[in-house]
C-alpha cells in the first residue's frame, strides 16, 4: 500500500466545518525529554518520527507550548517547515510546565496573548490553525479566557478555537462566545468518563480528540489481547480501532517517540473490528465495575492519569 494513504484510511473529520484532516493524528508530547521536560534524548530520532508521520499520511499534529516547554513546537518547525499545505498543527496554551512532571495554570488574558505570540513564533506561522485552551484556570474567569481567544481569532492570530480538559458545561459556555471546533479530553475504550461529552460533540459536529488514547494497557488488557491476537495485531492498534469506530468525530492522536510504534499506530486506520469485538471492548468499564476483569489504571507518562 502507498504509505501516504495509510492515515487516510481512517476517513476525515472536518474541523470547524472547513478544515478537513485524516482521523488519525499524531500527539507530539512524547518527543520531549523525560517528564515532558527539556530536549529529547535523541533529537534526530524525534525529527525522523515527525517526518515519517507525514509520509504515512498524518496531517494533524497536536502539541502545546508547555511540552518541553517550547521543545515540542520547536521540533515540529525544525522537522517540517515549510509545512505541507494540508498539515494542521494544533497547539494549546493556559497550562504551564514549570519543571519535570509539574503543571501550573495560567489562562489569564495577558498570559494567553503572550502564549499565542510565542507559539506563532516557534511554529513559524502567521496564524495558528487550531488553538486549544489547555485547561480552564480555576483562578481566572472562564469567560475571560474565552473572550481573549475570541479577540485573538478576530485579530487573525487563531483560525479555529478548541478546548481541552473540559466538561459539557464549559463547552456550552464557550460556544456563547465563539464556535468551538474541537474538544480534547482523556478518553479510551476503558476510560469513558467523557462518553457524554463525546455524544455532545457528535451532535454538535465538534471534533473529539482523545488524549491518552492508548491508556488501556492495564484495564481490560485481557479482552484487548484476545481481540488483538485474532487480528494478528497489536493491542494498541485495537484500542485505536475502537476509538475510530466509536464516533465519526473522533480524532485520536497517539503519541510516541518510536518509529516502530508510530507505524503500528497509524496502521490501526486499516483495522476493522467486528461488531462483537467492538461491543466486547465497549463493555469493559461495566465488567471492571462488576469486578470481572482486572482494573489496573495505567498512568499517563505526564503523571496525570486523571484530570
Ligand X SMILES: NC(=O)c1ccc[n+]([C@@H]2O[C@H](COP(=O)([O-])OP(=O)(O)OC[C@H]3O[C@@H](n4cnc5c(N)ncnc54)[C@H](OP(=O)(O)O)[C@@H]3O)[C@@H](O)[C@H]2O)c1
> Site residues (CB under 6 A) for ligand X?
27-30, 62, 164-165, 184, 211-215, 234, 236, 253-258, 261, 264-265, 300-302
Query: Residue 31 contacts by C-beta under 8 Å, 6 or more apart in sequence?
Result: 40, 46, 49, 50, 67, 71, 72, 75, 257
Residue 75 in contact with residue 24, Cβ under 8 Å? no
DSSP 110: H
CA 204 to chain centre: 19
For residue 89, what is the DSSP state? Answer: E
Looking at the Cβ atoms of 292 and 307, the one nearer to ligand X is 307
CA atoms within 13 A on the CB side of 127: 13
Is 278 noted as a catalytic residue in this protein? no
Residues near 199 by beta carbon (within 8 Å), at least 6 away in sequence = 247
Closer CB to ligand X, 211 or 242, in the complex: 211
Q: How far is the CB of 160 from ligand X (least distance, A)?
A: 16
CA 298-32-186 angle, 5° bins: 35
Place of cell 456550552: 172
Q: Which of 142, 148, 144, 151 is nearest to 169 (CA)?
A: 142
Which CB atom, from 242 or from 292, has the smaller least distance to ligand X? 242
Question: Residue 213 CB, nearest distance to ligand X (Å)?
Answer: 5
Task: State which residue, 42 or 55, has the beta carbon closest to ligand X.
Answer: 42
Contact 29, 36 (CB under 8 A): yes
Catalytic residue among 67, 131, 187, 212: 67
Cβ distance to ligand X smaller for residue 171 or 290: 171
Q: Which element (helix H / strand E) includes 285? A: helix 284-289
189: phi then psi, degrees, rounded to nearest 5: -60, -30
Least distance from ligand X to the Cβ atom of residue 252, Å:
8
- Shortest spacing between CB 147 and ligand X, in angstroms: 21
Distance from chain centroid for Cα 251: 7
Q: How far is the CB of 62 from ligand X (least distance, A)?
A: 4
Q: Which is nearer to ligand X, 68 or 213 (CB)?
A: 213
* In the complex, least distance from residue 264 CB atom to ligand X, rounded to whole angstroms: 4
Beta-bridge mates of residue 19 = 15
Q: How far apart are CA 68 and CA 75, in angstroms?
A: 10
Cα separation values, 104 from 34, 94, 143, Å: 18, 9, 19
Q: Which residues are tagged catalytic?
A: 67
Amino acid at each position: 500500500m502507498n504509505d501516504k494513504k495509510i492515515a487516510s484510511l481512517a476517513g476525515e473529520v472536518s474541523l470547524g466545518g472547513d478544515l478537513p484532516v485524516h482521523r488519525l493524528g499524531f500527539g507530539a508530547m512524547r518527543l520531549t525529554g523525560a517528564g515532558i521536560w527539556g530536549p529529547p534524548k535523541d533529537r534526530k530520532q524525534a525529527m525522523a518520527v515527525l517526518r515519517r508521520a507525514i509520509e504515512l499520511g498524518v496531517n494533524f499534529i497536536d502539541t502545546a507550548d508547555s511540552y518541553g516547554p517550547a521543545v515540542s513546537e520547536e521540533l515540529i518547525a525544525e522537522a517540517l517547515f515549510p509545512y505541507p499545505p494540508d498539515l494542521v498543527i494544533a497547539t494549546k496554551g493556559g497550562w504551564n510546565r514549570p519543571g519535570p512532571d509539574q503543571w501550573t495554570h495560567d489562562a489569564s488574558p495577558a498570559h494567553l496573548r503572550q502564549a499565542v505570540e510565542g507559539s506563532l513564533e516557534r511554529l513559524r506561522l502567521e496564524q495558528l490553525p487550531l488553538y486549544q485552551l489547555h485547561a480552564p484556570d480555576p483562578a481566572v474567569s472562564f469567560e475571560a479566557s474565552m473572550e481573549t481567544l475570541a479577540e485573538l481569532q478576530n485579530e487573525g492570530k487563531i483560525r479555529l478555537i478548541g478546548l481541552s480538559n473540559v466538561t459539557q458545561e464549559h463547552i456550552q459556555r464557550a460556544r456563547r462566545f465563539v464556535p468551538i471546533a474541537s474538544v480534547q479530553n482523556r478518553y479510551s475504550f476503558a476510560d469513558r468518563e467523557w462518553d457524554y461529552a463525546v455524544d455532545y460533540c457528535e451532535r454538535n459536529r465538534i471534533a473529539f480528540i482523545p488524549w491518552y488514547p492508548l491508556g488501556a494497557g492495564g484495564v481490560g488488557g485481557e479482552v484487548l489481547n484476545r481481540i488483538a491476537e485474532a487480528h494478528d495485531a497489536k493491542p494498541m492498534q485495537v484500542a485505536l480501532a475502537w476509538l475510530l469506530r466509536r464516533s465519526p468525530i473522533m480524532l485520536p492522536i497517539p503519541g510516541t517517540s518510536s518509529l516502530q510504534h508510530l507505524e503500528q499506530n497509524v496502521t490501526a486506520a486499516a483495522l476493522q473490528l467486528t461488531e462483537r469485538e467492538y461491543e466486547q471492548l465497549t463493555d469493559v468499564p461495566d465488567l471492571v465495575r462488576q469486578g470481572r476483569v482486572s482494573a489496573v489504571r495505567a498512568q499517563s507518562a505526564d503523571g496525570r492519569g486523571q484530570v
